[in-house]
Amino acid sequence: MTNYRKAVYQALLSCYREEGFLSQHLQEWKQKSDPSERDFHLAYEIAMGTVRYTWALDAIAKQLAKSGKLHLKLKEKILVRMALYQALYLDSMPLYAVADQMVKLAKAVCHPRFIPFFNALMHQLDGFTWEPPQGSSIEDLSVRVSFPEPFVEWMLRDYGPDAESIMNNLNQVHPSMMRVRKGEIDLPVIYSSNMGAYVTCPDVKKWGQNSRVYIQNVTPGALIDKLSKGLPHPPTSILDMCAAPGGKTIALHDAFPEAELWANEKSPKRLETLKDNLKKYEINAHLTSEDGLEYSPSRHFDLIILDVPCSNTGVLSKKPEARLRLTEEHVDQLKDLQLRLLKHAAKFLKKDGQIWYMTCSILKDENEALIRESGLQCIGEPITILPNKEGWDGGFGAALRT
């Protein structure tokens, strides 16, 4: 049995149990087992793709099952999804190799009763072609774009006929981008501002060590650039209230080099990442580690950046497991936290200061609707960036005042 498939299975089991992020589990496996670059990339692709296409894969499995119904345990569902993804979505994987390795894995982790069913399912894939449903119902669209039905409903409500193309963009994987902080690089510019130019990153491992650049999608930088145009004067004091890993703090330093920076991060582990990044980029900031709802600085600020915890619906291409949490209950909990954080942050704002409320969500309930509920005044028009075919993430930003 190829070892990376077992690592994928274990990462998926934790993911579907909501016990962490796929990338975190795979990085831990990489550090412990030292797989080849090929095996690690294959593991990453299979894990991410299996979660990304969960709803489509389940529909395919039901179609292949003679009864049209499946009553499987979580471990068995994961194996079926893994096998179907490799066989139907990865052209480089021969069916016989997938079947052989996945049956061996099934024998190692599942009850023997499951093996005959799994073997039969794999045999049915020979010559099988998947035709997604083309109907207009929520159920058909959920399978076609492979997103949970509640999210499909929200997207149709918020974006109407454009919803399907936006969701398709959220299933596309694009190369990483980076912001060139200093100097120039001979690469096509995606977006340019006084913080530097955004370009496609040709080698994340190489450029990630270079303090001239910061590996980051263009969307946060574009939001900061557009929001900064509404400032009456450059801020002298800036608070980044939910700061890790530090991308926005670093961008704010580059945009307003004379400003004094404060950065708060609740999580001790993420605070260490923030510290490492600020040290790497030689940026001074007053660091604190407090719950945002209990944060009580001794001063007020010209500018407060509030990049709140959110549904991650603008970055589902990078965080496919976030779609597993797209339930009404979960989003309601996020909205409650977002509103409380926003109202709390307003207490530390100078009289003529601004709060930049930012999310990586594209749901209006977390963005425009939440601002209206906060009672704060919007300065200019809120900015929504939708995920596109060029690789921009989705995101939202609005400048607010009391």
**What CATH number is attached to the domain comprising 385?**
3.40.50.150
pLDDT at 1: 47
Helix (H), strand (E) at residue 192? strand 189-193
Total domains, the chain: 3
Residues 102 and 163 grouped into a single domain = no
Please tell me the distance from the alpha carbon of residue 113 to that of residue 106, in angstroms, as a whole number.
11
Q: What is the CATH number of the domain that holds 9?
A: 1.10.940.10
Residues 242 and 382 grouped into a single domain = yes
Residue ranges making up the domain that contains 165:
138-169
Q: What is the pLDDT of residues 108-143, one digit of tens each?
A: 999 999 999 999 999 999 999 999 999 999 999 999
> Which residues fall within 8 angstroms of residue 275, CB to CB, at 6 or more apart?
287
DSSP state of 212: T
The residue from 124, 158, 192 where one domain ends is 124
Helix (H), strand (E) at residue 116? helix 114-124
Q: Give the confidence band of 21 by pLDDT, cuts at 50, 70, 90.
A: confident
Residues 17 and 105 grouped into a single domain = yes
The residue from 91, 124, 157 where one domain ends is 124
Residues 279 and 367 grouped into a single domain = yes
Residues 157 and 240 grouped into a single domain = no
Residues 117 and 77 grouped into a single domain = yes
Residues 244 and 292 grouped into a single domain = yes
- Kindly state whether residue 185 falls inside one of the protein's structural domains: no
**In this prediction, what percent of the chain has a pLDDT beyond 90?**
95
Above 60 in pLDDT, residue 228? yes
Residues 331 and 396 grouped into a single domain = yes
- Kindly state whether residue 174 falls inside one of the protein's structural domains: no
Residues 385 and 242 grouped into a single domain = yes
DSSP state of 203: -
Whether omega for the bond prior to residue 245 falls within 30 degrees of 0, making it cis, is yes
**What's the rounded mean pLDDT across residues 159-178?**
97
- Cβ atoms of residues 389 and 350 within 8 Å: no
- Kindly state whether residue 182 falls inside one of the protein's structural domains: no
CB count in 10 Å sphere of residue 164: 17
The rounded mean pLDDT for the chain is: 96
pLDDT at 367: 99
Q: What is the pLDDT of residues 353-386, one digit of tens each?
A: 999 999 999 999 999 999 999 999 999 999 999 9
Residues 19 and 165 grouped into a single domain = no
Per the listing, tokens 């919803």 go with: 163
Strands 237-240 and 260-264: parallel
Single-letter code of the amino acid located at 57: L
Residues 117 and 157 grouped into a single domain = no
- Kindly state whether residue 51 falls inside one of the protein's structural domains: yes
- Kindly state whether residue 11 falls inside one of the protein's structural domains: yes
Residues 99 and 226 grouped into a single domain = no
| DSSP-assigned states of every residue in 303-340 | EEEEE-----TTSTTT-GGGGGG--HHHHHHHHHHHHH
| DSSP-assigned states of every residue in 228-256 | HTT-SS--SEEEESS-TT-HHHHHHHHH-
- Kindly state whether residue 183 falls inside one of the protein's structural domains: no
- Kindly state whether residue 130 falls inside one of the protein's structural domains: no
Main-chain phi, psi angles of 177, to 5 degrees: -120, 165
pTM of the model: 0.94
- Kindly state whether residue 133 falls inside one of the protein's structural domains: no
- CA dihedral 120→122→123→129, nearest 10 degrees, is 130
